[in-house]
Amino acid sequence: MNRYILALVLLAGCAGPSPGGGREQRLLYVASPGIRNYVEWGGKGILVYDIDADHRLVRRLPSPFDDRDGLVENVKGICASAATRRLYVSTIRRLASLDLLTGAVLWVKSYEGGCDRMAITPDGKWIYLPDLEKDRWHVVDAETGRVAKEIVTNQGSHNTVCPPLGRRVYMAGLRSPYLHVADPARHDVVLKVGPFGAPIRPFTVNGAETLCYVNVNGLIGFEVGDLRTGKALHRVEVPGVSQGPIKRHGCPSHGVGLTPDEREVWVVDAFNQAVHLFDATATPPRFLESLKLEIDQPGWITFTIRGDYAYPSTGEVFEVRSRRKVAQLADERGRPVQSEKMLEVDLLDGSPLRVGDQFGVGRVTAP
């Protein structure tokens, strides 16, 4: 029977009974500015939405970052730990630790080389923090913000995934066609997966940590790699689409995610303003259909922990089963919100129970 490591979302909102007793809440945390430094799509701070009340905005947490020289810093990543009750947000310069329940700022630290999209180990102890498209990952003590070690790859450190099992940490650089794999017990690289067809952009992995799905430069679609052997397996192109000018990232598909049940791969397409769906149970994955987006060109995709909703970075909310758009994230004034940095956190009777992930990672951990 398939088993899942689940996660739900945070703070006040619609509560419901949990199977084991108590009241559960699902909230969506959306960091802004989550598209470059564009404050017109959410302002500055962390917007909290009630997933089970039509994604109604219930609270805005103040940004932990002060403006320097009048400039709002781009948010680069978001992650959280239910075990330690902490939320982490990075910008191009700094990393902040906040109390997951109150939003109180615990610390804000700067790191040599800047910061990019980080990941936290499931036990909440270690953050793998890439510098800003440069040479290394800082291995950061999540409690104190202290750097315990550096992992140097010299390949444009950028995106980081630590899936629910936490067996490995996966690191992609903008200048490398290889996915670097680290052992979190040793904080060392133990495997390189690839080479893929071009440098890796966003990527995701399945729950058992046997497969990766990677966006690469120049491709509307994704490639598939074997995390056990280190070999690249398949190149999967979206059929019948053309490439053209895009607003951001310089990569036509900048966002790929697995539904938590790992039955589908969803990949974004900026020029055609769409999300393309593939059957992940087929080898290689087989094209199913495309969903058009109304707001903007997408640059990311993620899901709720149970997989009932999909979130392109345009702030449009899709029901996964019906493929219907059911909501649009909006701010206090009703303006559309966009972000590439969001995750879900669940509470049980007001205490953190589970957390999701900014990447659309698979959650099937056993056959």
Contact call for residues 63 and 78 (beta carbons, < 8 A): no
- Residue 137 confidence (pLDDT) above 90: yes
The mean-pLDDT minimum among 18-32, 99-113, 258-272 falls in: 18-32
Q: What is the pLDDT of residue 10?
A: 29
Banded model confidence at residue 3, pLDDT cuts 50, 70, 90: very low
Q: Tens digit of pLDDT for each residue in 288-325?
A: 999 999 999 999 999 999 999 999 999 999 999 999 99
Q: Note the pTM of the prediction, 2 decimals.
A: 0.93
- Judge whether 63 and 73 are in contact, CB under 8 Å: no
Residue ranges of domains in the chain, CATH in brackets: 3-366 (2.130.10.10)
Q: Work out the average pLDDT over 181-191.
A: 97
Structure tokens at 102: 């109150």
pLDDT tops 80 at residue 4:
no
Q: For residue 197, give every residue at least 6 positions away whose Cβ sits within 8 Å of its Cβ, in sequence order, or none.
A: 177, 216, 218, 219, 223, 232, 235
Gyration radius from the chain CA atoms: 19
Check residues 277 and 8 and name the one with the higher pLDDT. 277
